[in-house]
Amino acid sequence: MRHRLAHLVTPHGHEAMDKVDSAVETSREGMRTLWLSLGILGTTTVIQATVVALSGSVALLGDTIHNAADALTAVPLGIAFVLGRRAANRRYTYGYGRAEDLAGIAIVLTIAASCALAAHQAVDRLLDPRDITHPWAVAVAAVAGFVGNEWVARYRIRTGRRIGSAALVADGLHARTDGFASLAVLLGAGGAALGWRAADPIVGLLITAAILRVLGGAAREVYRRLMDCVDPVLVDRAETALRAVAGVQHIGQVRMRWIGHVLRAETDIVVDPRLTVLQAHAIAADAEHALIHAVPRLTAATVHTDPQTTTPGSPDPHAVLSHHVHH
C-alpha cells in the first residue's frame, strides 16, 4: 500500500532517464550515419564528376547528379535530428520530432528534382548524339559509384530501422537504387566502346526510370508517416500486452503515432467499477508499463480507464479515470 500511495502522489516515469538517454543516443547515431554518408558520397561524386568532365558521358552525369543529391539530403535530415533534441515547450507541446517528417518531404523533392535533371540531359543527348571518350575511366567510376552507394544504403537502412527513422530508411533506399544505377553506367560505357553512340543516353533514361521507382517508394513511406500510419504488428503487440495485465477486463481502441523516431500511444481499458481510485490508477500504471516493455520505440502512453457497466454504452461519467505519464 505504501508503494501504491507513493506511486500515486509522486511524479514518476518508467525508467525515464534511460528513455531520455536512448532518445539522445538515437539522434547521435543518426547524425553519425549522416556525416559518414556525406563523406563517402561526397568522395564518390568528386571522382565521378572528374570522369564526366573527361569523357562527356551523360549516363555517368546522371549518376553523378543522383549521388550529389543523395549526399545533400544529409542536410535536411541533420537539421531535423538537431531540432528533434530540443525539449517540448508550451508552444510545441509534443516537441520537435515532426521536423524529421518535414525532412522526408525535402528528400522526396530532392530526388524528384535530380531525376528531372538527369532525364533532360539524357533526352538531349539522345536527340543530339555525341561520342564519349575514356570509356574505361567511365567503367571505373561506375564501379566506385556502386560500392559507395551500396555501403551508404546498408548503413542508412540499418540505422534508420534501428532508431525508427522513416526518413533515414527512405534515404537509404534512394542510395541503393543509385548504386544499381551506377552499375547500369557500365552498359553505356560498353556500348560506347563498341561504337553504339545511343547506348550512353539510353542508359541515362534507364537510370531515370529506376530513380522514379524509388521516388514512389520513398514518397509512400513519408506519406504514411505524415498520416500517422503504424505497423499493425505493433498494435497487436500492444493489445496482447494489455490483455496480460491483471485487472484489465477488456481493452478498447489502441492508437499510436510516430513523432520523429519515437512512438506515443493512447488506449482505453475497462476495469471493475468497485475499485477505488488508487486501485484503478495502479492498474493503469501497470498497463502503461506493459506497453512500454512490449512495443519497441514507445516512450509515452496515455491509458484511459473506464468502469465495467451492466448496460453497454452508458458508463458512469463520474467513474471515468485517466492515467497519463510522459517520459
Coil vs helix vs strand at 217: helix
Cβ neighbours around 214 below 10 Å, total: 21
- Quote the pLDDT of residue 3: 40
Coil vs helix vs strand at 256: strand
- Quote the pLDDT of residue 203: 78
Contact 301, 267 (CB under 8 A): yes
- Quote the pLDDT of residue 292: 93
Q: Which of 70, 65, 50, 47 is nearest to 151 (CA)?
A: 70
- Quote the pLDDT of residue 17: 28
Residues 6+ apart with CB under 8 A from 99: 79, 80, 83, 84, 260
- Quote the pLDDT of residue 26: 61
- Quote the pLDDT of residue 310: 57
- Quote the pLDDT of residue 210: 75
- Quote the pLDDT of residue 22: 43
- Quote the pLDDT of residue 27: 65
Q: Which domains does the chain have, with CATH numbers?
A: 25-226 (1.20.1510.10), 230-325 (3.30.70.1350)
- pLDDT means per 10 residues, the chain with 327 residues, are 37 32 57 84 87 80 77 78 83 86 85 80 76 78 86 87 76 76 76 74 79 82 88 94 94 90 90 93 95 91 87 46 44
- Quote the pLDDT of residue 195: 73
- Quote the pLDDT of residue 237: 94
DSSP class per residue in 261-296: TEEEEEEEEEE-TTS-HHHHHHHHHHHHHHHHHHST
Beta strands in the chain (DSSP E): 250-259, 262-271, 298-307, 321-325
- Quote the pLDDT of residue 277: 92
